[in-house]
């Protein structure tokens, strides 16, 4: 498997652990709807949180959250809609980004951006 896939999987694991430590319950990881996916679906306090995780070894090129462009936002929102419908969820929803900077064996920095984006009408 490609090294970037391993890094991404590692970053998602760090993000899930972070969320659990903050009192979130994990509902799903790598949930797919067709070709769209959601990295983590979590919940806390009556809100379902759809989390896009971006992992980078360093911040030398650009902030990881900058990789979440308008196309990615549309994809995550569409997948979230499918998730809500498939589970019959009637709750508030939120879209967050978690960035993980570092690498296995060397630790990491985690930045949790709540309400990172809103669905476009």
Which pair of structure tokens corresponds to residue 21? 């430590």
Cα 63 from Cα 98, distance rounded (Å) = 11
Is the pLDDT assigned to residue 4 strictly greater than 90? no
Are 121 and 81 a contacting pair, CB within 8 Å? Answer: no
Cα 65 from Cα 100, distance rounded (Å) = 10
H or E element, residue 105: none
Q: Which is higher by pLDDT, 60 or 22?
A: 22
Cα 113 from Cα 62, distance rounded (Å) = 16
Evaluate if pTM is beyond 0.85: yes
Confidence at residue 1, expressed as pLDDT on a 0 to 100 scale: 47
């Amino acid at each position: 498997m490609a090294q970037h896939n391993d890094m991404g999987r590692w970053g998602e694991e760090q993000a899930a652990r972070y969320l659990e430590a903050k009192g979130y319950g994990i509902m799903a990881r790598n949930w797919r709807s067709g070709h769209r996916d959601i990295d983590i679906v979590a919940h806390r306090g009556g809100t379902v949180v759809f989390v896009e995780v971006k992992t980078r070894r360093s911040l030398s090129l650009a902030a990881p959250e900058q990789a979440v462009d308008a196309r990615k936002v549309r994809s995550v929102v569409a997948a979230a809609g499918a998730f809500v419908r498939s589970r019959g969820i009637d709750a508030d929803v939120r879209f967050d980004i978690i960035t993980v900077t570092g690498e296995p064996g060397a630790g990491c920095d985690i930045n949790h951006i709540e309400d990172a984006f809103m669905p476009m009408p």
